[in-house]
């Protein structure tokens, strides 16, 4: 099998979530799941659903949760030949509770699970040699040393002409701002496309506002895309700044929208779409992603995005 056009790596998790709002995780209640999840698995799965070849480097346990993830990759055509099945570890799990004020609480079993076993030896240089795009996230730089080194190695193996996208996707509760900046600095330096969320434009630059931080990074020649949830997204380059309004949808589950958005933006740039069109395409994919419960259940196929865009075409 030829190397996929788009490769990512990181934690493979299933998500098990509360059925009702306002059910904390420290008492009995009802859950639904498992749903395949993990920020970079959602990303590659969306890339594949949108019609580009995608492959993943990660670790699952030899158990039903691992099967749940591998079955999803098989269904959507993600190359899983570089996913290792560890007989000694259980597949990573995230438990999620949702609250009426829109907040979410996550409880992770990943560092000591299969997800935390990803290491530089899992990164085969031959696999990366022919790829066009690598996507990394800060979350996988923060989870543990071996996962971080795997991400750095993948970046070092990337051909110079291939592009790197970087989504911080990092919860500041876990690490200090200085630690986050230090871990991410090598990746941010190499990144061609930087995809922060609210707060991360400031965090990574020390600028007074996200906008100013995004502009600073854009002046270095990067394409910077600030994801703003129900407000849409903003694209910054050295030459221009675009605000791309969100599509009106009813949000059912916000988890995974950012990862699907990054996937769509990648596909759009690989296909040479102009930035305004790429932003609109990615906003449509993010909007569709939030309309379905489950982190990657709402990731649309190419046909679904095109039908959605046609319905929302300007008159």
Q: Any idea which residues carry the catalytic annotation?
A: 259
In the list 85, 207, 242, 249, the residue contacting ligand ATP (rule: CB under 6 A) is 249
In the list 257, 267, 268, 299, the residue contacting ligand ATP (rule: CB under 6 A) is 257
The Cα 73–Cα 80 span in angstroms is 7
Q: Decide if 290 contacts 254 (C-beta within 8 A).
A: yes
The Cα 214–Cα 225 span in angstroms is 8
How many residues in the shown chain lie near Mg ion by CB under 5 A?
A: 2
The Cα 171–Cα 22 span in angstroms is 21
In the list 155, 157, 290, 296, the residue contacting ligand ATP (rule: CB under 6 A) is 290
Q: Minimal CA–CA distance to 15: which of 69, 53, 63, 61?
A: 69
In the list 92, 232, 294, 300, the residue contacting ligand ATP (rule: CB under 6 A) is 232
Q: Minimal CA–CA distance to 247: which of 209, 207, 291?
A: 291
The answer to whether residue 233 forms part of the interface with ligand ATP (CB under 6 A) is yes
Write out 116-178 in H/E/C secondary structure.
HHCCHHHCCHHHHHCCCEEEEEHHHHHCCHHHHHHHHHHHHHCCCCCEEEEECCCCCCCCCHH
The Cα 99–Cα 121 span in angstroms is 40
The answer to whether residue 23 forms part of the interface with ligand ATP (CB under 6 A) is no
Stretch that binds ligand ATP, among 16-24, 65-73, 155-163, 282-290 (CB under 6 A): 282-290
How many residues in the shown chain lie near ligand ATP by CB under 6 A?
A: 21
Which residue's CB is nearer to ligand ATP, number 88 or number 101?
101
CB of 229 to Mg ion, least distance (A): 10
Radius of gyration of the chain (CA): 18
CA neighbours closer than 13 Å in the CB half-sphere of residue 207: 15
Q: Which of residues 22-81 bind Mg ion (CB under 5 A)?
A: none
The answer to whether residue 169 forms part of the interface with Mg ion (CB under 5 A) is yes
Residue 233 interacts with which of ligand ATP, Mg ion, none, CB < 5 to 8 Å by class: ligand ATP
- Which residues make up the interface to Mg ion (CB under 5 A)? 169, 258
- Which residues make up the interface to ligand ATP (CB under 6 A)? 169, 197, 227-230, 232-233, 246-247, 249, 251, 254-255, 257-258, 261, 283, 286-287, 290
């Amino acid at each position: 099998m030829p190397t996929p056009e788009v490769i990512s790596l990181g934690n493979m998790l299933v998500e098990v979530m509360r059925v009702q709002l306002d059910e904390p995780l420290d008492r009995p209640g009802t859950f639904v799941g498992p749903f395949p999840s993990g920020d970079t698995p959602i990303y590659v799965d969306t890339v594949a659903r949108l019609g580009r070849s995608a492959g993943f480097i990660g670790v699952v346990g030899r158990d039903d949760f691992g099967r749940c993830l591998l079955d999803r990759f098989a269904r959507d055509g993600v190359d899983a030949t570089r996913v290792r099945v560890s007989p000694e570890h259980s597949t990573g799990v995230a438990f999620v509770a949702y609250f009426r004020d829109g907040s979410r609480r996550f409880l992770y079993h990943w560092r000591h699970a299969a997800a935390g076993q990803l290491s530089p030896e899992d990164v085969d240089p031959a696999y990366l040699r022919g790829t066009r795009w690598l996507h990394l996230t800060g979350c996988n730089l923060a989870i543990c040393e071996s996962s971080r080194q795997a991400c750095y190695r993948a970046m070092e193996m990337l051909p110079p002409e291939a592009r790197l996208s970087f989504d911080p996707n990092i919860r500041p509760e876990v690490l200090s701002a200085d630690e986050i900046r230090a871990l991410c600095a090598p990746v941010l330096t190499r990144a061609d496309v930087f995809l922060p969320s609210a707060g991360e434009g400031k965090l990574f630059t020390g600028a007074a506002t996200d906008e100013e931080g995004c502009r600073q990074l854009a002046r270095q020649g990067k394409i910077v895309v600030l994801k703003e949830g129900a407000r849409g997204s903003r694209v910054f380059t050295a030459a221009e700044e675009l605000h791309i309004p969100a599509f009106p949808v009813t949000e059912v589950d916000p988890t995974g929208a950012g990862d699907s958005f990054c996937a769509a933006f990648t596909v759009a740039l690989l296909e040479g779409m102009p930035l305004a069109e790429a932003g609109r395409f990615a906003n449509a994919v993010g909007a569709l992603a939030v309309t379905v419960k489950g982190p990657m259940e709402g990731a649309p196929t190419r046909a679904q995005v095109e039908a959605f865009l046609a319905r929302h075409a300007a008159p």
